[in-house]
Structure 1
Amino acid sequence: MLRNQLKDCIECGTDEAGRGCIAGPVTAAAVILPKTFKNKTLRDSKKITAKNRDILREILESECTSYGVTHVYMETIDEINILNSSILAMHQSIEKLNPVPEHIIVDGNRFKPFKNIPFECIIKGDDKFLSIAAASILAKTYRDEYMAKIHEEFPMYNWKKNKGYPTKEHRDAIRKYGITKYHRKSFKLLPEQLEIDF
């Protein structure tokens, strides 16, 4: 069972999805859960089926105290890099929360201070704390929804399935059709990069 909170205060968890992709935005979410919140299914979004993620999203949106979700798009990623874009997406998601959190717990090991609110980075936090796991679910489901939408515009890349990650199918499609406005130009997509298996 994941822990509810790290500190006894108004605490939010934050996480992102899509950092390792070569197409589409990086998406972050921030979530404040009630101190009494419990859910046995909730964990790191990567360990849950798509169907259960969608069920959890409905539960979280109706039962959480507050949540915010933000896409940071390809142009910004190309301008400020993926790490800074991931942190920007988290900051913008936290900005949407009401009440303002008194403490922030972040999945991973990199973050930048936000409005002097104390924070703690937690490796594999989405498998340790409910609020980070909740943020991972919202970030993942919102981003997947966006990728399914742009898939309709460019079905040859099969973003509905690969979500913009550099799978062999995606890389083969880039070789055949080139890149689109949704690809991250800063990833260069060089031939040697396209040979790497992910």
Structure 2
Amino acid sequence: MHKIFCGIDEAGRGCIAGSLFIAAVILSHDKIDRFRALGIRDSKQLNYKERMNKKDSINDFLRSNHGISMILNFSAQEIDKYGLSKCMQKGLTTLYNFALTNQSCEVIFDGNTNFGIQNLQTLIKGDSKNILIAAASILAKCAKDCEMIEYDKLFPQYEFKNHKGYLTAIHKERIKKYGYCEIHRKSYHIKNLELPTTNLF
């Protein structure tokens, strides 16, 4: 019987708007070489169109090769209420248990901390070193991109489709002009930010 592995990564941790997404990809060891042939790379090395194409390839492969994926998301409101670390811990716990339920013998998360989850392994720059973490990074980033593109339709003045919720100069300028909207993480403290007297939220 072949060993089963799980890779986990997130997207949106460093954003100031929108959700945090955490994805897991589970696959049997004997399928990994063929999975690697898809040309999967760290999501940060791919543009939007390339990521979306890879996401489809990953999902097609998993469906036809008894692999599994799972994506969790925590809204800006949940992050403000519980804190980012608690949301990360809750999401990773859920995905770790999901991996164990699906007979994974090893669960690896991209980064240098396991958020207190015993036996969850970590790998610094794992999205460039581990194929399953790289696949998870693509699924999480695509989910984040799609969310922010939809929010851009609701709040076009912030240009969410361009910066995806990260604090770029343009994003900061728009917050200064329009204030926060309902998808901004208001618990985040932005230096030198003076909000207008009228606010959308």
TM-score by length of 1: 0.85
Q: Flag the 1:93–1:69 CA change in 2: closer, same or farther, 3 A.
A: farther
Q: How many residues align?
A: 185
* Residue among 21, 33, 49 paired with 2:27: 33
Decide whether the 8 Å contact of 1:16 with 1:90 is kept in 2: no
Gapped regions of structure 1 (runs ≥ 5): 1-7
Q: Tell whether 2:183 aligns with 1:182.
A: yes
- Hey, what's the Cα distance between the residues in 2 that align with 1:113 and 1:171? 33
* Residue among 103, 107, 110 paired with 2:110: 107
Deviation at 1:154, TM superposition (A): 0.3
Residue of structure 1 equivalent to 2:87: 85
Secondary structure of the corresponding residue to residue 133 of structure 1:
helix
Q: Map 1:108-147 onto structure 2 (within 5 A).
A: 108-112=111-115, 118-147=119-148
- Hey, what's the Cα distance between the residues in 1 that align with 2:6 and 2:194? 37
- Hey, what's the Cα distance between the residues in 2 that align with 1:131 and 1:183? 31
Secondary structure of the corresponding residue to residue 104 of structure 2:
coil
Q: Map 1:24-103 onto structure 2 (within 5 A).
A: 24-35=18-29, 36=31, 37-39=35-37, 41-64=39-62, 65-95=67-97, 99-103=102-106
- Hey, what's the Cα distance between the residues in 2 that align with 1:137 and 1:94? 19
Secondary structure of the corresponding residue to residue 179 of structure 1:
coil
CA RMSD of aligned residues (A): 2.1
Deviation at 1:80, TM superposition (A): 2.4
Which structure shows the bigger proportion of residues in helix conformation? 2
Secondary structure of the corresponding residue to residue 136 of structure 1:
helix
Residue of structure 1 equivalent to 2:198: none
Deviation at 1:69, TM superposition (A): 0.5
Amino acid across the alignment from 1:47: Q
Gapped regions of structure 2 (runs ≥ 5): 196-201
Deviation at 1:169, TM superposition (A): 0.5
- Hey, what's the Cα distance between the residues in 2 that align with 1:146 and 1:92? 22
Deviation at 1:44, TM superposition (A): 1.0
TM-score by length of 2: 0.83
> Max radius of gyration: which structure?
2
Amino acid across the alignment from 1:48: L
- Hey, what's the Cα distance between the residues in 2 that align with 1:183 and 1:95? 30
Question: Matched residues, percent identical?
Answer: 35
Q: Tell whether 2:5 aligns with 1:11.
A: yes
